Amino acid sequence: MAFLKVEEINKTFKESLSLRERLSDSKRENPVLRGMSFEAKKGELLVILGSTGCGKSTLLHIICGLIRQDSGHIYLDGKCIDNLPPDKREICLVFQDFALFPHMNVADNIAYGLAKRKLKKSVVIERVKEILEKLDLYPLRYRKPETLSGGEKQRVALARALVVQPKILLFDEPLSNLDVNVKKNVRNEILRIQREYKLTSIYVTHDQFEARALADRVAVVHKGKIEQIGKPEDIFYRPKTEFIASFTEAENILQGKVLENHPQEGISEIVVGDTRIITAFDSKLSVGQEVKLMIRPEDIIVTKERMVTSARNVLEGRVFSVTPHGSLYRIEIDLKGIPISCLITRISKEELEIKSGSKLYALFKASAIHLIK
């Protein structure tokens, strides 16, 4: 049985109208969630991945009871919680902007949720001290939020959620306001705490790196629905739709047609333009069928000379663009009319003396190609 079940959630917001629109009895509505459904297992960290404005935060607010859905149901541990107020749902939300009380010190901010539950003072003190020590916040217990760094504020917000011992922890893009170095530390802390407490967590983000680094499973949101849900490797290397492939920056999405099938050899031949590309055999493919091929940039090797290799595809081309991409370089290659993007290290770029106009060979295995039918 799913620990959290989101069933056919719909939510539409009515947008403000101008005076002219109101007088003409016009209506303007913004459907944000359209039949949103998914399940989360007990103890897993499920990442909801989607672009800005796709309804991720609205979904979290509905789960914890801050917003009422138009239709659909939320089940927690087998019980419908639609009519429970937020403080009775045993669900905590860690906000993007921390939402700490500026007039309270760290310890009082963390204790706030316990005090609202009218627990004994001794229990409150014991729990707050325990969580302060676990999150390395004890030396900061008397500090006010205005004196804390972004990373420290986020840890306080996390401690405030954890101290009430929720059944589910929700994260609303908690790292978006932090710089790169702090992000890494807080991300590792979230993962450590989630594993240690065996919490069921729903984490929303638009950052694909965060999704891959944190998730047990990833659910990609598109047009108010879950487009695909699965393990990170399924989402990023075996996308079911062209949207998922494009959104996860597969980049190399090519239109082709099945030319031949060779089941004995375990391969199929796909023609893209005038170029034959070898893929792993798929019994569902028929000769003449139109397909889309996806090859991730990191799965392509480039060389200056044609090599004898186990890779089934060795294609000649010329570089038309070299641009920095974080710690790597993105190389755009024209393979006789087929544009291909790949990623290489700085050392490889220098050793191969790659620049615009350079002749290169692109190598990739048949198993590196994913077909979107």
CA distances from 97 to 109, 145, 250, 284 (A): 15, 12, 31, 49
CA angle 360, 364, 368 (to 5 degrees): 150
235 near 220, Cβ under 8 Å? yes
Q: Is the pLDDT of residue 18 over 70?
A: no
CATH code at 114? 3.40.50.300
Residues 260 and 331 in one domain: yes
Residues 63 and 120 in one domain: yes
Q: Is the pLDDT of residue 332 over 80?
A: yes
| Model confidence, pTM | 0.87
Largest CA distance in the chain: 76
Residues 220 and 288 in one domain: no
Residues 257 and 329 in one domain: yes
Q: Span 196-203, mean pLDDT?
A: 92
Q: Buried (b) or exposed (e) across 277-300, using 16+ Cβ within 10 A? A: bbbebbeebeeebebbbbbbbebb
Give 30's pLDDT tier (boundaries 50, 70, 90): confident
Alpha carbon 157 to its chain centroid, in Å, reads 21
CATH code at 300? 2.40.50.100
Residues 117 and 260 in one domain: no
Residues 23 and 85 in one domain: yes
246, 281, 301: which is the final residue of a domain? Answer: 246
Residues 164 and 276 in one domain: no
246, 264, 291: which is the final residue of a domain? Answer: 246
Q: Is the pLDDT of residue 29 over 90?
A: no
Looking at residue 21, its pLDDT comes to 56
- Helix, strand, coil percentages, rounded to 5, for the chain: 30, 35, 35
**Domain range holding 198?**
4-246
The three-state secondary structure class of 265 is coil
In degrees rounded to 5, what are phi and psi of residue 53?
Answer: 85, 10
Give the CB-side neighbour count of residue 297, counting CA atoms within 13 A. Answer: 19
225, 246, 267: which is the final residue of a domain? Answer: 246
Residues 125 and 200 in one domain: yes
Residues 145 and 236 in one domain: yes
Residues 229 and 97 in one domain: yes
Residues 226 and 348 in one domain: no
CA distances from 363 to 74, 105, 338, 348, 368 (A): 48, 58, 14, 15, 10
Residues 236 and 274 in one domain: no
Amino acid at 242: E
The three-state secondary structure class of 361 is strand
Domain count, the chain: 2
Q: Is the pLDDT of residue 350 over 80?
A: yes
